[in-house]
Every structure is written in C-alpha cells, then in structure tokens.
Amino acid sequence: MTRALILGGTTDASLLAAAVARAGIEAVYSYGGRTRVPADQPLPTRIGGFGGVNGLADYIRHEGITHVIDATHPFAAEMSRNAVAACAETGTPLIALERAPWTRTPGDNWIEVHDVNCAAAALPDPPAQVFLAIGRQHIAPFAGKPQHAYTLRFVDPPDAPLPFAADVVVSRGPFTLDGELKMMRARHIDWVVARNSGGDGARAKIDAARTLGLPVIIISRPSLPDRLRVESVAEIMQWLGHRTCLGA
C-alpha cells in the first residue's frame, strides 16, 4: 500500500499533488512554513521542519511513508540533502521532481555567479536601479553596496527592518512577461539579480530582462547529492506505479 510524502513548496509540487489526489494515491504534502499563507493543496498537508535528518527518518517510520518525492525548489539544498540521508537510513525509495535550469539564449546578457555573495560583488560600483528577485532570506550581502536603489520582491510583507534601504514589492508569483516588463520599465531597472530556479513560474523576469537588454546576475544552483531525478509529473506517477494512458 503506497503512502507518499511530497516535499513541496513549488509550482511543480502543486501540479504533482493534484495528479496524486486525482489518482487516489494516499499522500501527505509538506511545506517548510516559510510563508504566512501557503497555497492550499488537495492532500493532507503538514507545515514546518521535521527536525533534521533524524526527525525526517522518525517521521517516515511513524507515518508509514513508503515513498518520498522531493519536489522542493532547486535551492532548497538542505531539505534535499536531508531527504537523501533519511531515505538511505530508512531504506525508503526517493525520487526528485526537479525542473531543468534555464539556459542562456541569444540576446541574454548573463553574469553567472556561484552564490549570493558573488552576486553582490558582481554589481557595478556606480549607483544603479537593481531588481533583487531573490526573495527575503539571503539579501544581507547587498548591504555592502548601499549606493544602489534596490527593488525587492517578497511573498509576504517584511516583518523586520531591512538590512538596507529598498522598495519591497509583495507578490508570490507565478509572474507574467507583461507584468515584469511593466514593473521594470516603471522602476527604470538597470540590473536584475536572480537564482537559476528553472521552471516557468519565475522565468518571466529573465525574458523581460532580455527584451529590455538588461544584464542579469544569475546565481547557479547548489550541488546536490546524487539521487533519482525526473522533470515531469508523469514520470513521478509512473514511478509510483500509477499507469494512465493520458499522461499524469
């Protein structure tokens, strides 16, 4: 009897939850608790950390989890590493649903950097209008370059003082090309900083930057341990042993 744990928090994870619910497969959807009002899911949902590798292993045992699907964001590296370790410890089958990174296309003006500190260092010295599209958790390095006019985009309104002066746009996405073009033009954005999240839910800013001829400082993904990895919901459903003639 299948009882799956979906480590969620992305558009792809929501699409998977819908397919799993439609198929009548028993599953639990898990959020880390980063946002105030995460999107509802058509599955029983838990919110908050497990308590490290041991906490996740205990959860798997106590809840009788038979399959774990890591559908977290490519930058949720600690969760992904913990899932690999906990599934190895408990002998639980694990698969990752992970979209491919965005790749540079003609017209893209990308500066690829290793992490957020390198992203801050890559900004020019002369003051510029900078769109920091990397959320809330990892913006501190930009306090070292206060000469720029920053636009931040958060899922929830800030609940603490910012480490530097900035305008905050509150929006959870997914985002549209028209919306990104309108915002970037209205704010005379010169530079964009983004993670290479992949997927469609946040690529509009990348396409808008290309349209406007703007440079994008793009942060490469963290390295993750080897694990079985697919890019489609249909492949996850097949892995769960659910065969349909119409895709997922």
**Is position 75 an interface residue for ligand NAP (rule: CB under 6 A)?**
yes
Q: Are 206 and 233 in contact (CB under 8 A)?
A: no
CB of 30 to ligand 3Y8, least distance (A): 7
Q: Are 241 and 69 in contact (CB under 8 A)?
A: no
The binder of 51, among ligand NAP, ligand 3Y8, none, by C-beta within 5 to 8 A per type, is ligand NAP
Q: Are 100 and 200 in contact (CB under 8 A)?
A: no
When CB distances to ligand 3Y8 are compared, the closest residue is 135
33 versus 146: smaller Cβ distance to ligand NAP:
33
Q: Are 220 and 3 in contact (CB under 8 A)?
A: no
H-assigned helices in the chain: 11-22, 52-63, 77-90, 116-122, 177-186, 204-212, 233-239
**Is position 32 an interface residue for ligand NAP (rule: CB under 6 A)?**
yes
CB of 213 to ligand NAP, least distance (A): 26
**Is position 196 an interface residue for ligand NAP (rule: CB under 6 A)?**
no
CB of 118 to ligand 3Y8, least distance (A): 15
State the Cα–Cα distance between residues 170 and 185, nearest whole angstrom: 18
Q: What is the largest CA-CA distance in the chain?
A: 61
CB of 96 to ligand NAP, least distance (A): 11
x/- track of binding to ligand NAP for residues 135-174 (CB under 6 A): ----------------------------------------
The binder of 142, among ligand NAP, ligand 3Y8, none, by C-beta within 5 to 8 A per type, is none
Q: Given candidates 4, 16, 28, 31, which one binds ligand NAP under the rule CB under 6 A?
A: 31
**Is position 52 an interface residue for ligand NAP (rule: CB under 6 A)?**
yes
Q: Are 191 and 122 in contact (CB under 8 A)?
A: no
The two tokens of residue 182 are: 């309108």
The binder of 156, among ligand 3Y8, ligand NAP, none, by C-beta within 5 to 8 A per type, is ligand 3Y8
CB of 139 to ligand 3Y8, least distance (A): 8
State the Cα–Cα distance between residues 201 and 99, nearest whole angstrom: 11
State the Cα–Cα distance between residues 57 and 146, nearest whole angstrom: 44
Taking phi first (over 0 means left), then psi (-120 to 50 degrees means alpha), and beta for anything else, what does residue 148 get?
Answer: beta
Question: CB neighbours of 80 closer than 8 A, spacing ≥ 6?
Answer: 7, 70, 72, 96, 224, 225, 227
The binder of 163, among ligand NAP, ligand 3Y8, none, by C-beta within 5 to 8 A per type, is none
The binder of 7, among ligand NAP, ligand 3Y8, none, by C-beta within 5 to 8 A per type, is ligand NAP
Residues contributing to the site for ligand NAP (CB under 6 A): 7-10, 30-32, 34, 49-52, 55-56, 72-73, 75-79, 82, 195
